[in-house]
Chain A
Amino acid sequence: MTNEADDDYYGTASTNQQHEGGDEYTSAKKLVQRAADREALLKNLKPSASSLSADRSSSDVTNSLSTTSTQLGADFSSLKLKPDHISRPCWTCPDGTIYLEAFHEFYTKAYDFLVAISEPVARPEYVHEYKLTPYSLYAAVATNIDTESIVRVLNRFSKNEMPVGVAQFIRECTKRYGKAKLVLKHNKFYVESDYPAVLRELLRDDLISQARVAEETSGGDGAAAGGDGAAGVNNAAASGNGSNKNADGFVVNTKAEEMEENLRILREMDGDSDDDDDDDGEGGAQKQAVAKTTVSFQIKGDSVEVVKRRAIDLDYPLMEEYDFRNDKMNPDVPMDLKPHTKIRRYQERSLSKMFGNGRARSGIIVLPCGAGKTLTGVTAAQTIKKSVVCLCTNAVSVLQWKYQFKLWTNIPDENICVFTSDKKDDIPPQSAGGCVLITTYTMISFGGQRSDKSAEVMNQIKGREWGLLLMDEVHVVPAKMFRRVIGSVKAHCRLGLTATLVREDDLISDLNFLIGPKLYEANWMDLTTQGYLANVQCVEVWTPMTAPFMREYLMADNARLKQLLYVMNPAKLRATEFLMRFHEERGDKIIVFSDLVYSLKLYAAMLKRPMIYGETSERERQAILGTFRTSDALRTICISKVGDTSIDLPEANVIIQVSSHFGSRRQEAQRLGRILRPKSYTQTDGSNRSSFNAFFYTLVSTDTQEMFYSTKRQQYLIDQGYTFKIVTTLSEKADLEALQNDYAYKNAEDDRQLLRIVLTSDIEKDQRAEDTAIRKSNPDGAKLADLGVKRTAGSTLAQLSGGSGARYSSGPRKIHPMFAKRRKARM
């Protein structure tokens, strides 16, 4: 894959024209590499920084410390503490880690600042940990926070004297990022910058200067006079901004004002600082003065790609901004938010990051499940009011998105269309105004033979300009798929939405360049306290393996059987039934999750409750979900991993997880997300923290692999501030109850029978059937959800890394039933 990409990149410009998407991907790869280099730079800075400080204090002691620090952890105790450190909330380590005291009086201010410039690593109750990364700084620059402000404000918040290396790192990372922007304005492309020098440097490149719109190059001393005439064309359109030209022939504009809210984090701190640090205050004022104007030059529309690529080579990656308000060429979509639509504070916050200066920036917004990602997306689309392509993971969520669009806005039916394997609406012609097209990733990126209808729609998509590319659950999409998507959809602005920006592999960094920086990430715990999310009690229930099962477990030689044994542990069955009975009595709605289809069937049979898995037909599925939502007759459903994402069950408030996908942190978070939607009785006055109104049980068989996986899975949520309570005694209670209340598996005889069934069963068959069914019904959903995670004992490294993108094309898996039968017979 990499080779192919490299070839693409070093190939001539003409071949590149054919693979725009692929080219973009290569550029992103290049940027990722550069970011990694910068990060390495910071690591290399560490020893030099400590040796620097060693000169200051007594050298022999610090030397002995730094030698030990290489072996054990990191010792930055030689950093100098400011005398008034107690009134400052953070520590800044030379390696870019920032710790924040969450109980400090300046916590909120520091928090807003830190989430803007750094990546949150862990946010528990008292001390948060953040990390400065090239990406986070890139994101900060993208939202118009300039380098010196970052350094200055960070220094002000820091308890210790800011390490030289960190300031260097910040400057190094932000020196070039965000200095130049590619702005689409009045349907013309401009390269815009605050700094004329940057533009001059860019123009020194041949390809870029060739791409510059010709009349600008009249040049020389006559520029002032001749320029007026030439610029008249431009100024006619942009007269409102009072633009003129400077000696270089650049168009000078007043800078688009950044929204007050986004810059407040910097200002407030300025206000605080007036008494203690005058120099910095002046510096801030100067900065404001400098940033008032911008310069720009126009480039030809057809050479945008070339300019972008060259800019990356020059290490001035162009940030794209879309001045949608002045876009007169693309028709508006007639949609407005309905009056009853209420946007929450954090949603507004995230959108203000996106539309900070009145233009639309590309980027990713991270909101927890249940916190209203869809509404955020709809509002963004509504703000731009241009044609939108909305990409979802499967057909079910396509329908949900359509429903949400209609729920929150007054968009007419004919302007919203759906493009899935089942339903292919016609895209209305440009003259009828813009439209919202909702489809799946696979439909767009499908590489094989398409049906006539489908190909026709695809051509329409490819042939148009889109205002916004909205991508749901963006974390599941492999990079390779982006190449196709980006190649097919020409959109001015891209917005990614996700709940969990973690992957077991490390492909997140690509997204920073393919889509854009992370614009906003909400704090789960804050939203919980404010009552926007249900307050979930996470419980890990330890169920001891019964003796016969443990014996088999220890003797089992294949991982599959081992897994089956710890999932089918009778103690677990009893605990599940116990919990279900307990919560049904309380009037709760319960979801039982099991990854293993075989066990799902057995659990469902034991609990006498309906189940949904890959093979369940759409009609049956809707019927079950409908009953669950509306009627009290059905309080519990069993779901396989098809329910991890995109099945919207706002009523459910209890999850019992009996088996799970190994150590996947994301699955844990996604499953928790199923019950995060605030319950009707959730308090919104801040008192939410004390009382739990949702429960997330994970049943774990003690002394098995499951213990290990469970610890691993919880890491993401623990970093978000959740705590897992371990319960060890529930199993005993359940055993007792089982005898008294006549559970399905109550005594040793039942256990033995179960064991017999388990040992003789063919679980592979079920699991395969499930996989095929999932693939057939919605080719991307469950597959996507599990991409990059080990699913069978025999998976390869390529699969792990998400490199096996081949599975999205029509691969060898699709065997005609006849051949399949024959192959089976041979085996």
Chain B
Amino acid sequence: MHQNWEQKISSYFSCSQVQNVLVMPAPSKRKRAGDASSTASKVGRSSADSSASSAANTATQAASELTKIDPQEELLSTSKSLFEYLERLPPGTLRSIYNLPPPGGATVAAAVLRSSSLTDIARQCALRLVACGGKFKVGSIVEKWIQRHGQRDALLALRRLESMGILEPLGLANRPGQGNDDIDDEANDSEKRAKLMAKIACLTPEFKGAMKLHLSTMSSSPWPTIAREQIEEFKKSGGGAKSDGGEKESRDPPAPYELELYTQSSWDSVLHFLVGSDEAGKDKGGVEEPPEVMIQFLTRIGLMQEDPDYNGADRSRAPLVITSKGYEFMLRDTNAQVWQFVLQYLNSLAHHNMKDAIRMEALSFLICLGSCRVGEGYFNSVLQSKSARILMKDLARFGLLFVCRVAGKKAFYPTRVAVNLVASNEKEGSRQTDAIGQSVAATRSLEESLSAPVPSRSHLAVVVQTNFQVVAYTTSKLHISTLALFCDVESYRRLPNVIFFHITRDSIRSAFRLGVKADQILRFLHVHAHPMLRNGDHQLVPSNVTDQILLWDRERRRVVMDEVWAHQCRDSSEFAAVGQYASDLDALAWGNAHTNKLYVHFGKSEMVYAYIRKWRTKHYNS
């Protein structure tokens, strides 16, 4: 199975070194998946979650063992959004992205400038610098452009610009993870400050060039769109007749609803498959089983696994079941889900020998897609590099693009998902987009789709009632399957555009057993709350339901496992002293005065141990 996958991927990248190309998302996951299946096979019919938890334990060890992995890659692989990913790239990489031939570089530069990665001040500085020739003294930027009380922010802004590869290095740069405190030190230290102020802030030529290009371009879309005239011209010239000759057939550009349908079916098919709803393939709405490659991809990134309860002889025929990570995945919103996919895709490039080039290509392509409009199409010929075309095919597989032949040439149409992937991330971090995304535009569109004469398949609006009833306005089997994860399936009532569920202790607990967390459920209910609840001061989820779900969650953790370090004291005086020290440190878990034994929280054991040694040298050696 793996071999198959490897070959396919390698064919995309037309690379000779098959072994190297094929890379796991993260070693920890591979380890985990392997562990889970091996434990399961040993224990036989051990329950799914017990093996999963044991796997989780070993996974953490595995992560530290495999130190070969680049910490940079590790950092990248946990990014929550596209721009967070960009932020975590080294400035050098970013600069080479800006330097990509048009439209890539220019679009990325503009997108970075618009994104939430930059503060308002940073944006202002960058734009001014572009307009004023690109060079300025730091002193004048900080002291003249900005009001007095904003100077600290100005320094932070410059630092951010530097780390995003927009400014030439000033020595301010600070990778994410480090604190902001040192900037204060620098600002206070007069000598250093003077030095800093005298420096020249200089835009990187890459960014400057890209920005200039962007500002001088008239078109809003990165590539020339397929114009209506082109299609008509093609038809006039008898392009339609040609298709009879066995050549690949040209068609009219897809209508917006067709694109929407395509997105839903291709993306939903993945999700359907994940939750194992029997609807997949049967529904005439167009949902069918996702391509084999996709399925393998799902197992690869740990969303699915072979059924650990399967006790047939041939393990390779074991049915795939969703993992707890998969459930977590289900409860996210679509953008986050797509990003997760794209991220895994980018990660899978990590060990490629041309990884940087391909990754740059991929990122710029994604960002370009973000500045496209849904419904506009582009000929394949706009993509110059070969890797970009391969990329296009792969993204089409996720439902980000719709590929067809128009006017005799291959063309691609970005879908809503692709455009939103960048657009929604531009504003805020992914957590906030849930709330903001739902706020105005989404609420209106949801209201519209609720009142549509024939309910559309995409909307979901949930009302949770104080009697633990969940009223979900939806027609999608997928949403129902998702709700069924934590609602009582025995007592549902389904009507044409609405479904009624009850939340019970058992249903919530079974969700917990699958690895779903209480806050995920609550967030899901919040995100999909009915628009009616958002007008006025209604609670999106009644507080008694929230409380109860949290209480049910707490029920499971009544016995708390804690890792401790046991220390046998030599005598009661040591016991008293060390015990005192440990409890001052808030590290003492338990002490037994009869046996002079102390149990210290593992996290703080080293400090306690250091103290013990000090205490012993003082008391026993003198």
Chain A residues close to B by CB (< 8 Å): 58, 61, 64, 69, 72-81, 83-86, 91, 93, 97, 99, 103, 122, 124-127, 159-160, 718-719, 721-726, 728
Q: Do B543 and A725 touch across chains, with their CB atoms under 8 A apart?
A: yes
**Which chain B residue lies CB-closest to A65?**
B494
Q: Do A79 and B283 touch across chains, with their CB atoms under 8 A apart?
A: no
- How many whole Å from B484's CB to the nearest CB in chain A? 9
**Which chain A residue lies CB-closest to B491?**
A73
Q: Do A719 and B493 touch across chains, with their CB atoms under 8 A apart?
A: no
Q: Do B490 and A72 touch across chains, with their CB atoms under 8 A apart?
A: yes
Whether B148 is near chain A, meaning CB under 8 Å from some CB there, is no
From the candidates A77, A78, A79, A719, name the one contacting B467 in the complex (CB within 8 A). A719
Q: Do B466 and A723 touch across chains, with their CB atoms under 8 A apart?
A: yes
From the candidates A61, A75, A81, A159, name the one contacting B494 in the complex (CB within 8 A). A75
Chain B 267-311, CB-CB to A under 8 Å as 1, else 0, gives 000000000000000111000000000000000000000000000
Given A79-B496, A86-B450, A726-B548, 20 more contacts at CB 8 Å?
A61-B282, A72-B490, A72-B492, A73-B491, A73-B492, A73-B494, A74-B492, A75-B494, A76-B494, A76-B496, A77-B495, A81-B497, A103-B532, A126-B463, A127-B463, A160-B495, A723-B544, A725-B547, A726-B547, A726-B551
Which B residues are CB-close (under 8 A) to A160?
495-496
Which A residues are CB-close (under 8 A) to B238?
none
Q: Do A724 and B544 touch across chains, with their CB atoms under 8 A apart?
A: yes
Chain B residues close to A by CB (< 8 Å): 282-284, 450-451, 453-455, 463, 465-467, 469, 471, 475, 489-500, 532, 542-544, 547-548, 551
Which B residues are CB-close (under 8 A) to A72?
489-490, 492
- How many whole Å from A541's CB to the nearest CB in chain B? 13
Give the docked Cα–Cα distance between A74 and B551 (Å): 30
Q: Do B283 and A61 touch across chains, with their CB atoms under 8 A apart?
A: yes
- How many whole Å from B493's CB to the nearest CB in chain A? 5
Q: Do A91 and B495 touch across chains, with their CB atoms under 8 A apart?
A: yes
Which B residues are CB-close (under 8 A) to A58?
284
- How many whole Å from B471's CB to the nearest CB in chain A? 5
Q: Do A124 and B465 touch across chains, with their CB atoms under 8 A apart?
A: yes
- How many whole Å from B557's CB to the nearest CB in chain A? 14
Q: A126-B471, A127-B469, A718-B467 are in contact. Are A61 and B284 (CB under 8 A)?
A: yes
Q: A86-B450, A103-B532 are in contact. Are A127 and B465 (CB under 8 A)?
A: yes
Q: Do B496 and A127 touch across chains, with their CB atoms under 8 A apart?
A: no
Which A residues are CB-close (under 8 A) to B469?
122, 124, 127
Q: Do A99 and B543 touch across chains, with their CB atoms under 8 A apart?
A: no
Give the docked Cα–Cα distance between A83 and B496 (Å): 12
Q: Do A725 and B495 touch across chains, with their CB atoms under 8 A apart?
A: no
Give the docked Cα–Cα distance between A722 and B492 (Å): 23
Q: Do B465 and A125 touch across chains, with their CB atoms under 8 A apart?
A: yes
Give the docked Cα–Cα distance between A97 and B495 (Å): 11
From the candidates A69, A80, A126, A725, name the one contacting B544 in the complex (CB within 8 A). A725
Q: Do B466 and A721 touch across chains, with their CB atoms under 8 A apart?
A: yes
Q: Which 4 A-B pairs have the closest CB atoms?
A: A73-B492, A83-B453, A86-B451, A81-B496
**Which chain B residue lies CB-closest to A128?**
B465
**Which chain B residue lies CB-closest to A78?**
B496
Give the docked Cα–Cα distance between A722 and B466 (Å): 8
Q: Do B451 and A125 touch across chains, with their CB atoms under 8 A apart?
A: no
* 10 intermolecular pairs with C-beta atoms under 8 Å apart: A74-B493, A78-B496, A86-B450, A99-B471, A103-B532, A127-B469, A127-B471, A127-B500, A721-B466, A722-B466
**Which chain A residue lies CB-closest to B547?**
A726
Which A residues are CB-close (under 8 A) to B471?
99, 126-127
Give the docked Cα–Cα distance between A81 and B451 (Å): 11
Which B residues are CB-close (under 8 A) to A77?
475, 494-496, 499
Q: Do A125 and B466 touch across chains, with their CB atoms under 8 A apart?
A: yes
From the candidates B282, B284, B466, B495, name the one contacting A79 in the complex (CB within 8 A). B495
Considering residues B454, B467, B500, which has the most beta carbons from chain A within 10 angstroms of its beta carbon? B467
**Which chain A residue lies CB-closest to B464?**
A126
Q: Do B493 and A97 touch across chains, with their CB atoms under 8 A apart?
A: yes
Q: Do A124 and B493 touch across chains, with their CB atoms under 8 A apart?
A: no
Give the docked Cα–Cα distance between A84 and B497 (Å): 13
Considering residues B451, B454, B500, which has the most beta carbons from chain A within 10 angstroms of its beta carbon? B500
**Which chain A residue lies CB-closest to B452?**
A86
Which A residues are CB-close (under 8 A) to B496?
76-81, 159-160
From the candidates B475, B490, B493, B551, name the one contacting A76 in the complex (CB within 8 A). B493
Which B residues are CB-close (under 8 A) to A85?
453, 497
Give the docked Cα–Cα distance between A718 and B502 (Å): 13
Which A residues are CB-close (under 8 A) to B498?
91, 99
Which B residues are CB-close (under 8 A) to A61?
282-284
**Which chain B residue lies CB-closest to A726?**
B547
Q: Do B453 and A124 touch across chains, with their CB atoms under 8 A apart?
A: no
- How many whole Å from B620's CB to the nearest CB in chain A? 39
- How many whole Å from A464's CB to the nearest CB in chain B? 48
**Which chain B residue lies CB-closest to A103?**
B532
- How many whole Å from B455's CB to the nearest CB in chain A? 7
- How many whole Å from A756's CB to the nearest CB in chain B? 28
Considering residues B283, B451, B455, B544, which has the most beta carbons from chain A within 10 angstroms of its beta carbon? B544
Which A residues are CB-close (under 8 A) to B453?
81, 83-85
Give the docked Cα–Cα distance between A122 and B502 (Å): 13
- How many whole Å from A414's CB to the nearest CB in chain B? 51
- How many whole Å from B280's CB to the nearest CB in chain A? 13
From the candidates B284, B493, B494, B544, name the one contacting A726 in the complex (CB within 8 A). B544
Which B residues are CB-close (under 8 A) to A78?
496
